[in-house]
Amino acid sequence: MALLEVRGVQVSFPGPGGGRVQAVRGVSFALEQGEILGLVGESGCGKSTLARALAALVPVSAGDVLFDGLSIPSLRGRALRRLRPDIQMVFQDPYASLDPRMTVMATLAEALRVRSALHGEGLRGRVEALMDEVGLAAEFTRKYPHEFSGGQRQRIAIARALAAGPRILLADEPVSALDVSIQSQIINLLGRLCRRHELTMLFISHDLAVVHHIADRIAVMYLGRILEMGPAERVLDEPLHPYTRALVSAIPEPDPERERLRRRILLRGDPPSPFAPPPGCPFHTRCPWAEPDCARQCPELDPAPEPGRTVACLRLDHIA
């Protein structure tokens, strides 16, 4: 049985005129113990909303989320509080997610007390061990968040997540606010920690190249739906869905000659508004291969000809 199962999850919010905005529309996938799934898509496609729904930070409107067979949306009160340490989030902006009035020692100690009775020297030793795991010196525990760089603050946020003893990490754009020179360090750190602690992780990004370095599988999201999912190498080497093809074609090529020769897929128009999504396939308004049926029928995420891959496209057999 998968550690995390997402079954037809929908998340909606009140919209203008008394209607509802469907931020996440029927998303399904499963995560095995120790697996890293990369979730990619443009800003506003519902990635962060989905992560917050998995962590029970926003309510699920329909569908279900199962953690080790337990339905998260059905939990309330003490039962939900018992679950929270198992599913921890690392947010995009570490400065906003850390309490500016608390030292690093106080921040990590607070998280450690959730699952342990440590105090005194034992607590201090565990905090220092966490700092060492994320590559920070023990003497930094006396400092406040504003005294650190962005990369250091993200390391502290990761240490805080680890302090709760999680089984799943939800990393929501954890490197997008950092300098490029620091991004690879944080990505490598997350990968090492997942392997060391056998953590399962959902790694969210708008950058396919970033996700490629850490994920076992990749899911591509657009306007609240997953359009393609499969092993990371295969999705990058042989993308199936037109939207995935466009994303892959936009990845910079370090070889100047190959960069000059490669074919870019330029999408027309802007993404539709989630307040008024188009009928049929959510991507048909920008798809180079769309036909009239694409505006009438919304394709399901079905198995692709290649094992281990799924794709939601009516034109799969006709795309050259």
Contact between 284 and 294 under an 8 Å Cβ cutoff? The reply is yes
pLDDT at 201 over 80: yes
Average pLDDT of span 20-45: 95
The mean pLDDT value for 70-97 works out to 93
pLDDT category at 258 given cuts 50, 70, 90 is low
Closest listed residue to residue 297, CA positions, set 310, 312, 276, 317: 312
Tokens for 224, please give them: 């609240």
**pLDDT above 90 covers what percent of the chain?**
74
Task: Say if residue 16's pLDDT is above 80.
Answer: no
Q: Output the six-digit token pair for 111.
A: 């998280």
Grade residue 200 by pLDDT with cuts at 50, 70 and 90: very high
pLDDT at 57 over 60: yes
Tell me the whole-structure pTM to 2 decimals. 0.93
Q: How many domains does the chain have?
A: 1
Q: What's the confidence (pLDDT) of residue 126?
A: 94
C-beta atoms surrounding 137 within 10 Å: 9
Six-digit token string for 76: 């309330």
What is the tens place of the pLDDT at every residue in 154-188?
999 999 999 999 999 999 999 988 888 899 999 99
- Produce one character per residue of 280-302: b if its CB has 16 or more CB atoms within 10 Å, e if not: bbbbbbbbebbeeebeeebbebe
pLDDT band per the 50, 70, 90 thresholds, residue 40: very high
Mean pLDDT of 290-309: 93
Residues 156, 138 contacting (CB under 8 angstroms): no
Gap between the Cα atoms of 156 and 20, Å rounded: 37
Q: Rounded mean pLDDT of the chain? A: 92
Sequence-separated (6 or more) residues with CB below 8 Å from residue 292: none
Structural domain range at position 220 = 4-318
CA dihedral 131, 179, 209, 286 (to 10 degrees): 130
Q: What is the mean pLDDT of residues 125-137?
A: 95
Domain at 138, CATH number:
3.40.50.300
User: Parallel, antiparallel, or unpaired: how do β-strands 4-14 and 36-40 relate?
Assistant: unpaired
Using 50, 70 and 90 to split pLDDT, how confident is the model at 69?
Answer: very high
Rg of the chain in Å (alpha carbons): 21
- The Cα 290–Cα 238 span in angstroms is 20
Q: Would you call 254 helix, strand, or coil by DSSP?
A: coil
Tokens 């400092």 — which residue? Answer: 143
At 251 the pLDDT is: 81
- H/E run at residue 171: strand 168-172
Q: How confident is the model at residue 255 (pLDDT cuts 50, 70, 90)?
A: low
The predicted structure's pLDDT at residue 114: 78
Q: Is 4 helix (H, G, I), strand (E, B) or coil?
A: strand
pLDDT value of residue 269: 81
Q: How far, in Å, CA of 205 to CA of 238, rounded?
A: 20
**b/e per residue, 139-152, with b = 16+ CB within 10 A?**
ebbeeebeebebbb
Which residues share a beta bridge with 218? 38, 230
Mean pLDDT of 255-284: 82
> How far is 5 from 54, CA to CA, in rounded Å?
10
Q: What is the mean pLDDT of residues 126-149?
A: 95
Tell me the C-alpha distance between 232 and 100, whole Å: 38
pLDDT digits (tens, 9 = 90+) for 273-297: 888 889 999 999 999 899 999 999 9
Rounded distance between C-alpha atoms, residue 320 and residue 317, angstroms: 8
Residue 312: pLDDT band by 50, 70, 90 thresholds? very high
